[in-house]
């Protein structure tokens, strides 16, 4: 996670603007991300789900553009979260 942001900030870009999706390429809910963070931190926090339906459901972003731009390998979002919170 942080290494990717660092690479973007350090990359010299000639007078163009770029927009990137950063994802694992797999569908993952914010609830699952929250559970992973709580598990890694051994937190007893209670995650409260909203009763409101999301306007976009089951959306999977394509990270190929940023992977090619930064010449990085695909990454596992869950492992990146675990590495960042430790």
Tokens of 40: 């890694």
Please give the full DSSP string across 21-42, using - where no structure is assigned: ----SS---HHHHHHHHHHHTT
Identify the CA nearest to 24 among candidates 4, 43, 39, 42: 4
Looking at residue 42, what DSSP letter applies? T
pLDDT tens digits along 14-58: 667 677 666 666 777 778 888 888 888 888 999 998 888 877 777
The more confidently predicted of residues 83 and 13 is 83
- Rg of the chain (C-alpha set): 16
Identify the pLDDT of residue 46: 92
pLDDT band at 2 (very low <50, low <70, confident <90, very high): low
């Amino acid at each position: 996670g942080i290494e990717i942001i660092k690479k973007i900030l350090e990359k010299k870009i000639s007078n163009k603007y770029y927009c990137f999706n950063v994802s694992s390429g797999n569908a993952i809910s914010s609830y699952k991300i929250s559970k992973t963070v709580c598990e890694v931190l051994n937190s007893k926090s209670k995650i409260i789900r909203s009763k409101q339906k999301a306007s976009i459901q089951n959306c999977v972003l394509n990270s190929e553009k940023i992977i090619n731009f930064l010449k990085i390998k695909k990454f596992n979002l869950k492992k990146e979260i675990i590495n960042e919170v430790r």
